[in-house]
Amino acid sequence: MIRTDPETPDLFITPVEEVFIRNHLGPAPRLDRDTWTLTVEGAVERPLRLDFPALLDLPQTRFTAVHECFGSPLRPHVPTRAVTNVEWAGAPLAAVLALAGPRPEARHVWLEGADRGDFAGESGLTYLKDLPLDQAGAEVVLAHSMNGEPLRPDHGYPVRAVAPRMFGTNSVKWLTRIVLAAERPDHLFTTRLYTRVPPGGGEARPVREKDVGSKLLTPRDGGSVPAGACELEGYAWSATEVTAVEIAVDDADWQPAELERRGPHPSWQRFRLRCDLAPGPHRVRCRATDSAGRVQPLTGDRNAVHEIGILAE
Ligand SMILES: Nc1nc2c(c(=O)[nH]1)N[C@H]1C(S)=C(S)[C@@H](COP(=O)(O)O)O[C@H]1N2
Ligand SMILES: [Mo]
């Protein structure tokens, strides 16, 4: 989803126009900021209904984070590489939870959007996701702005959830209802889809924390470059910090690329490597490792190493 402009090959923040749009239930609902409300109900001491000014009265936070689509929940192991890096602003969910007062039995936070529709043969669905209360309280933000401007209708206007370390599917757009509960909700998008079996096998787990991944952006896939010295660049990301990126040109060994540190926010990290390209076609691959020791697989999963083809002339 990233277009690299030859003038600005390495935009750290993805312009809003270039951010992918993923709507499972049809067109974006058109909500109005003046009539929007968010209800907080279920296992809480004080059920609430917040309007937009009340959300702005809460403490506000601003941060950059990788925004990545998991891919089709019907094909959980197929790479799509729809990834961007954006700046969000909004109120921490923790501030809303403090107002509502979770009851002792509350273990899960359900987040529901205002869109309604059909998906994978089921009709009349809402968009519902859930996260463990501890995790949601620690990191979810109720965002009203993207890259310094109000959310656009397609991106969840006026308010969406953002779970910065998680796949995009968890960041519920057009957020209108939060439920605290002792159990997970049984729903197409929570327990039946968006689950996957870990690489070694075992029980299916919900799609939450991002995988380790990397993407070559310069030169462009299919592009041509002058033969000789060439700079290969891209971005790497994960739920934790990426600690190494290696690049392989054709069948040569993997070589360590120069990698920026992540900084305080869960943003992507730029990497680059100078190499020498003989005239002719070349294949370039990149592979990231994160601080949890996860490494991109060569093949077979949605975060398999990225490969581009370039022509040196
Ligand atoms: N209400 C609602 N929220 C949603 C979705 C949706 O269809 N409806 N799609 C999810 C998916 S799969 C992704 S990848 C992100 C995409 O966010 P974006 O369209 O703002 O890029 O939103 C998530 N939140
Ligand atoms: Mo997605």
Q: Which of 197, 234, 198 is nearest to 213 (CA)?
A: 234
Instruction: Tell me the C-alpha to C-alpha distance, in Å, between residue 279 and each of 24, 230, 282, 283.
Output: 45, 12, 9, 13
pLDDT at 6 > cutoff 50: no
Q: Which pLDDT score is estimated for 199?
A: 73
In short, whether 16's Cβ falls inside 6 Å of ligand 1 is no
Give the separation between CA 175 and CA 136, rounded to whole angstroms: 14
DSSP state of 189: I
Residue 11: name the closest of 221, 243, 235, 239 by CA: 235
CATH of domain 213-312: 2.60.40.650
Distance CA 309, CA 103 (A): 56
Q: How far is the CA of 167 from the centre of ligand 2 (A)?
A: 7
Specify the residue with its C-alpha closest to ligand 1, atom 10.
169
Ligand 1, atom 5, residue with closest C-alpha: 23
pLDDT confidence of residue 201: 84
Taking alpha carbons only, the member of 310, 107, 139 closest to residue 210 is: 139
Per-residue pLDDT tens digits for 122-149: 999 999 999 999 999 999 999 999 999 9
Average pLDDT, the chain: 95
The closest residue, in CA terms, to atom 18 on ligand 1 is 21
pLDDT at 5 over 60: no
* Three-state secondary structure call for residue 136: helix
Strands 228-237 and 255-256: unpaired
| For ligand 1, mutation pick of 142, 157, 173, 194 (most atoms within 8 Å of CB) | 173
Nearest CA to ligand 1 atom 11: 169
Instruction: Say what the pLDDT of residue 10 is.
Output: 60
- Per-residue model confidence (pLDDT) at position 7: 47
C-alpha to C-alpha distance for 194 and 6, rounded to whole angstroms: 36
Strand pairing partners for 247? 255, 286
Minimal-distance CA residue to ligand 1 atom 21: 21
For the Cβ of 20 lying below 6 angstroms from any atom of ligand 1, the answer is yes
Which amino acid appears at position 22 of this protein?
A: R
Q: How far apart are CA 286 and CA 166, in angstroms?
A: 22
Model pLDDT, residue 134: 98
Please write the tens of the pLDDT for every residue from 231-268: 999 999 999 999 999 999 999 999 999 999 999 999 99
Predicted confidence at residue 3, as pLDDT, reads: 42
All structural domains of the chain with their residue ranges: 2-206, 213-312
Give the pLDDT confidence score for residue 2 in this predicted structure.
39
248, 214, 218: which is closest to 310 by C-alpha?
218
Query: What's this model's pTM, rounded to 2 decimal places?
Result: 0.95
- Please report the pLDDT score of residue 236 as a whole number: 97
pLDDT over 90 (residue 163): yes
**174 pocket-lining for ligand 1 (C-beta < 6 Å):** yes
CA dihedral defined by 86, 89, 94, 96, rounded to 10 degrees? -130
Tell me the pLDDT band of 198, cut-offs 50, 70 and 90. confident
Ligand 1 contact via 54 beta carbon (within 6 Å): no
Tokens 């029980």 appear where?
Answer: 203
| pLDDT of res. 200 | 79
Beta bridge partners of 68: 83
Considering only 56-70, 89-103, 144-158, 197-211, which range has the smallest mean pLDDT?
197-211
Q: Is the per-residue pLDDT at 205 higher than 70?
A: yes
How far apart, in whole angstroms, are the C-alpha atoms of residue 212 and residue 75?
Answer: 18
Pocket flag, ligand 1, residue 25 (CB < 6 Å): yes
In this structure, which topology does domain 2-206 adopt according to CATH?
Answer: Sulfite Oxidase; Chain A, domain 2 (3.90.420)
- Whether 184 is in the pocket of ligand 1, judged by its Cβ within 6 Å, is no
Ligand 1 pocket: which of 30, 171, 190 to mutate (most atoms <8 Å of CB)?
Answer: 171
Q: Is 69 in the pocket of ligand 1 (CB under 6 A)?
A: yes
Question: Identity (one letter) of the amino acid at 138?
Answer: A
Confidence band for 1, pLDDT divided at 50, 70 and 90:
very low
